[in-house]
């Protein structure tokens, strides 16, 4: 009963959260801040401090001190929307002790939390004058392929070194992806197909990187040493909002919000038993661009991943919440022409560090 209920809500989730924040901010298009004298170095330092205290509580405080008042107000509105969504979803879940009937509230809690967290980073970035170093976006490549290595720091698993491979191909609105890893008696393969509902398409140089994608994916995994076979099927959506829509000081930054619902089938090969489990995953991220978006570019994102089925597991803070949280991470991808490299670090109940060499086609023109 729960799965269909969540899924009915899922379709509108990402769109509604992002659209709500955008419309409340009255920012359908990139906007121009009223001309104000550039902040002095002292004021800039003060603004950075204000983005932390009281910015963590009152979003936009950093921009306010930096005299970017319109963006400050919009960040405050986004915080309000985030609080409202988080409260709408989180209070029933908390009050009920996590009752199944209230779990669809995750549909509101997750994007609300995303807006709350993303606006902290955005305020700090803008207050620090990040727009001055921000880069330009690159068009999505038709093909992005990578080979890499992953180190898993987890004393509970009988492997630590994995070889990885992934490829994403795009044609028009359609997207197909394949990825996998193997090593030390274990492997995983994942295939996905998706559709870009909104946003830049391959080879289109975007003025605005905002996008909305939906995806279906299946994965299979073998853990020979542990006698496990795991199959997963997921349906999800990922939205990206170009924060230049909120204010010019946020040019070159973005926030991401994704949700997925799925099923996981675990087969215990030693005993022959099997379990089926439902899966809810969410992604909340904030990132920035550097470079010219042509010859050189770099995109970095920090994120919270609300899931515990990956190699990273979930965080275990010494609080009552250590039963219900996912993991955090950061990924950075740099390109120089056709060639690129990426690094990812995830921290949950395990550390996972990945490096990959990448190639993209077609090569971008200088």
Partner 1 sequence: MRSACLLALMAAVAPVACTRPGDDRAARDLEIGTARAPGVAVAITDGLAHVRALSPAAGGSGGGAIELWAQAPILDLTLDLDDAAAGTWTITVGNALADLALTAATPSGAAPVTELGGPRPTVRTWTLDLPAGRTSIRIAPPDAADLAPWRFVVMGDIQDALPHVHEVFARIDAEPGARFVISTGDIVHRGREDEYELFEQQLTTLDLPFYSTIGNHELWGDVDGWYRRFGRATVHFDFRAVAFSLVDSASAGIDPAIDALLDGWLAEHAAGLHIFATHYPPLDPIGVRMGSFASRREGQALLGRLAAAGVDLTLYGHLHTYIAFDNAGIPAHVSGGGGAEPMRFDGIDRHFLVVDVDPTASRVTAVRVVRVD
Q: What is the 3-state secondary structure (H, E, C) of the chain?
A: CHHHHHHHHHHHHHHHHHHHHHHHCCCCCCCCCCCCCCCCHHHHHHHHHHHHCCCCCCCCHHHHHCCCHHHHHHHHHHHHHHHHHHHHHHHHHHHCCCCHHHHHHHHHHHHHHHHHHHHHHHHHHHHCCHHHCCCCCCCCCCEEEEEEEEEEECCCCCCCEEEEEEEEEEECCEEEEEEEEEECCEEEEEEEEEEEEECCCCCCCCCCCCEEEEEEEEEEEEEHHHCEEEEEEEEEEEEEEEHHHCCHHHCCEEEEEEEEEEEEEEEECCCCCEEEEEEEEEEEEEEEEEECCCCEEEEEEEEEEECCCCCCCCCCCCCHHHHCCCEEEEEEEEEECCEEEEEEEEECCCEEEEEEEEEEECCCCC
- From 15, 220, 328, 359, residue interacting with partner 1 (rule: CB under 8 A): 328
Q: Is 311 in the site for partner 1 (CB under 8 A)?
A: yes
Q: How far is the CB of 358 from partner 1 (least distance, A)?
A: 16
Q: Is 88 in the site for partner 1 (CB under 8 A)?
A: no
Residues touching partner 1, count (CB under 8 A):
70
Q: Is 292 in the site for partner 1 (CB under 8 A)?
A: no
- From 30, 43, 88, 154, residue interacting with partner 1 (rule: CB under 8 A): 154
Q: How far is the CB of 318 from partner 1 (least distance, A)?
A: 5
- From 143, 332, 341, 355, residue interacting with partner 1 (rule: CB under 8 A): 332
Separation of CA 274 from chain center: 32
Q: Which is nearer to partner 1, 114 or 287 (CB)?
A: 287
Nearest CA to 303 out of 358, 257, 240, 351 is that of: 257
Q: How far is the CB of 305 from partner 1 (least distance, A)?
A: 12
Q: Which is nearer to partner 1, 88 or 328 (CB)?
A: 328
Place of tokens 């038993």: 273
- From 195, 205, 295, 324, residue interacting with partner 1 (rule: CB under 8 A): 324
Residues 158-197 contacting partner 1, CB under 8 A:
none
The span of 56-64, 74-82, 174-182, 266-274 binding partner 1 (CB under 8 A) equals 266-274
CA separation for the pair 324, 38 (Å, rounded):
44
The span of 82-90, 91-99, 115-123, 191-199 binding partner 1 (CB under 8 A) equals 91-99
Q: How far is the CB of 334 from partner 1 (least distance, A)?
A: 8
Q: Which is nearer to partner 1, 141 or 326 (CB)?
A: 326
Q: Which is nearer to partner 1, 34 or 317 (CB)?
A: 317
Q: Is 322 in the site for partner 1 (CB under 8 A)?
A: yes
CA separation for the pair 74, 26 (Å, rounded):
8
- From 58, 165, 233, 279, residue interacting with partner 1 (rule: CB under 8 A): 279
Q: Is 289 in the site for partner 1 (CB under 8 A)?
A: no
Q: Is 100 in the site for partner 1 (CB under 8 A)?
A: yes
Q: Which is nearer to partner 1, 21 or 255 (CB)?
A: 255
CA separation for the pair 336, 351 (Å, rounded):
28
Q: Which is nearer to partner 1, 83 or 328 (CB)?
A: 328
Residues that bind partner 1 (CB under 8 A): 2, 6, 95-103, 106, 133, 153-157, 223, 226-228, 230, 261, 264, 266, 268-275, 277-280, 290, 298, 300, 302, 308-311, 313-320, 322-328, 330, 332, 343, 345, 347-351
């Amino acid at each position: 009963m729960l799965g269909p209920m969540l899924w009915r809500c899922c379709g509108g989730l990402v769109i509604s959260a992002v659209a709500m924040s955008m419309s409340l901010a009255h920012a359908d298009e990139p906007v121009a801040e009223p001309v104000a004298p550039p902040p002095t170095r002292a004021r800039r330092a003060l603004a950075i401090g204000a983005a932390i205290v009281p910015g963590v509580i009152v979003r936009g405080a950093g921009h306010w001190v930096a005299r970017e008042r319109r963006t400050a107000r919009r960040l405050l509105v986004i915080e309000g929307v985030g609080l409202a969504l988080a409260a709408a979803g989180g209070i029933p879940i908390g009050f009920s002790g996590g009752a199944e009937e209230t779990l669809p509230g995750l549909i509101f809690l997750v994007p609300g939390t995303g807006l709350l967290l993303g606006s902290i980073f955005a305020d700090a970035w803008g207050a620090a004058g990040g727009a001055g170093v921000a880069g330009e976006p690159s068009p999505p490549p038709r093909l992005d392929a990578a080979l890499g290595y992953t180190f898993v720091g987890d004393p509970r698993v009988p492997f630590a070194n994995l070889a990885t491979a992934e490829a994403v191909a795009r044609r028009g609105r359609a997207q197909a992806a394949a990825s996998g890893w193997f090593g030390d008696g274990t492997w995983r393969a994942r295939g996905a197909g998706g559709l870009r509902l909104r946003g830049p398409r391959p080879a289109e140089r975007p003025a605005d990187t905002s996008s909305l994608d939906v995806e279906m994916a299946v994965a299979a995994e073998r853990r020979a040493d542990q006698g496990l076979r795991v199959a997963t099927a997921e349906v999800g959506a990922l939205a990206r909002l170009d924060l230049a829509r909120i204010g010019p000081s946020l040019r070159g930054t973005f926030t991401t919000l994704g949700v997925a619902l799925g099923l996981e089938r675990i087969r215990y090969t030693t005993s022959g038993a099997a379990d089926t489990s439902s899966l809810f995953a969410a992604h909340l991220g904030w990132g920035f661009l550097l470079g010219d978006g042509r010859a050189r570019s770099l995109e970095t994102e920090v994120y919270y991943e609300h899931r515990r089925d990956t190699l990273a597991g979930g965080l275990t803070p010494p609080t009552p919440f250590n039963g219900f949280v996912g993991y955090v991470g950061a990924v950075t991808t740099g390109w120089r022409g056709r060639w690129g490299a990426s690094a990812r670090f995830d921290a949950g109940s395990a550390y996972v560090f990945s490096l990959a060499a990448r190639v993209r086609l077609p090569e971008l023109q200088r």
